[in-house]
Amino acid sequence: MSTKTPKSTVKSLLELILTIAVAIGLALLIQAFIVKPYRIPSPSMVPTLAIGQRVLTNRLINHPSVGDVVVFHPPAGADPATPDCAAPNQGAGHSQACDAPTRQESPQTFIKRVVAGPGDTIYILNGHVYRNGVREKDPYIEPCGNDPSCTFRTPIKIPPGDYFMMGDNRGASDDSRFWGPVPDKWVIGVAFFTYWPPDRIGFL
């Protein structure tokens, strides 16, 4: 009957350590470059996504399509308690949504829906986006009510390479209406799957 030698035991241990190290390395690479988990921090995407819900984001996509739910860094104008638009007569309290974001990138991470892309012209009535003259099909939104931030009647045109983001909870979302479109280079990825809580598992 043969017995394992100390040498073979050490070899097996080294193989196990190497296997674990490779698995961890692959997981980190996948999270850094391919798929990243994200936790929903606010009610701005209700009813589509609730606070605490968790999604997976495809990091290989940084040129999203209209309708995609996207994770991104907003302009630095999103950082103050009262958001800043680079154009002083646009955004909150005006008839025109912000079409000129501040130039700096915020370190914050937001999740919203793309409602318009480069070259699109939009205006907003009662929380509904009219893109190139056509109202969006928006069964996913929470009704806006009488909130004045839900209506921006003056049309704006989205600059090349930028995306206009809005939360599905139109009356309770800090989004592009107030701090402007988001450059594609600030897009982290497109959310495609929700994995928590268990009763909401599925594709977006």
Helices (H) and strands (E) in the chain, counts: 2, 12
Q: Which residue has the tokens 């909870």?
A: 169
Q: Is 176 a catalytic residue?
A: no
- Out of 36, 106, 112, 176, the active site residue is 112
Of the candidates 45, 2, 27, 9, the residue with the CA atom closest to the CA atom of residue 191: 45
Q: How far is CA 198 from CA 54, 57, 195, 201, in A?
A: 10, 18, 7, 5
Q: Is 112 a catalytic residue?
A: yes
Dist CA 185 CA 73 (whole Å): 9
Give the long-range contacts of residues 88-92, CB within 8 A, separation 24 or more. 90/156, 91/177, 91/178, 91/179, 91/180, 92/149, 92/177, 92/178
- Out of 36, 44, 149, 173, the active site residue is 44
Element (H, E) at 17: helix 6-33
Is 150 in contact with 130 (CB distance < 8 Å)?
no
Catalytic residues: 44, 112
